[in-house]
Amino acid sequence: MGSTKGLKIFASIVTAAVAIALVGGFILSGTPGNERLRRMDERRLSHLQQIAYAADAYWKAEGHVPEKLETLTKSRQFSLESINDPQTLEPYEYSVKDAKNYTLCAIFETDTTQVPTVDQFAPYPDSLFWRHPMGRYCFDFNATEINQLMSEKFAAPMQAPAVID
């Protein structure tokens, strides 16, 4: 009889521990629905980064940014996953301001303005640049600045590590 009571207490403790672990997991990583939204926004950002890199490369080759996003998809020079939102399948908003300035917009489902991000492979080296609020948000680009930043970032000679005797 005593062993049955001990098993019930043990089962209760294990059940409570599992429940606490599940709640803690949701608190730390978010619900599965929130994770799905976060991943969708990551795809949007990946698309926008690819588009920005291609538009800037186009500017470097042609002396002006493309008038339409479709121009980038027609060239074999650029590898773009998509110029369309992964959920709505509508093209991202793209507007040309002048020969070297343009804007890219998307509708985001999460707010990353308070979340630390690290994206060393982004066309703009500052990962803070890609933070966005929930809803429609636009990023402004200047092709001359990005090309200068990229050439400085990748043209700088690497320093050999210090040798310690």
**pLDDT tens digits for range 84-116:** 999 999 999 999 999 999 999 999 999 988 766
Q: In which band, very low, low, confident or very high, does the pLDDT at 121 lie, cut at 50, 70 and 90? A: very low
Whether pTM > 0.75 for this model: the answer is no
Tell me if residue 139 falls in helix, strand or coil.
strand
pLDDT higher at 4 or 137:
137
Q: Where are the beta strands (DSSP E) in the chain?
A: 93-96, 101-108, 135-142
Residue 150 has pLDDT above 90, yes or no: no
Q: Domain-by-domain residue ranges, the chain?
A: 1-30, 35-155
Closest CA to 94 of 102, 60, 82, 126: 102
DSSP structure string for 6-34: HHHHHHHHHHHHHHHHHHHHHHHH--HHH
**Position 56 pLDDT exceeds 80:** yes
Structure tokens at 66: 């493309």
As a whole number of angstroms, the distance between CA 137 and CA 47 comes to: 14
By the 10 Å C-beta count (0-12 exposed, 13-18 middle, 19+ buried), 84 is classed as middle
Angle, helices 143-155 vs 32-62, to 10°: value is 90
Around Cβ 92, how many Cβ atoms within 10 Å?
Answer: 19
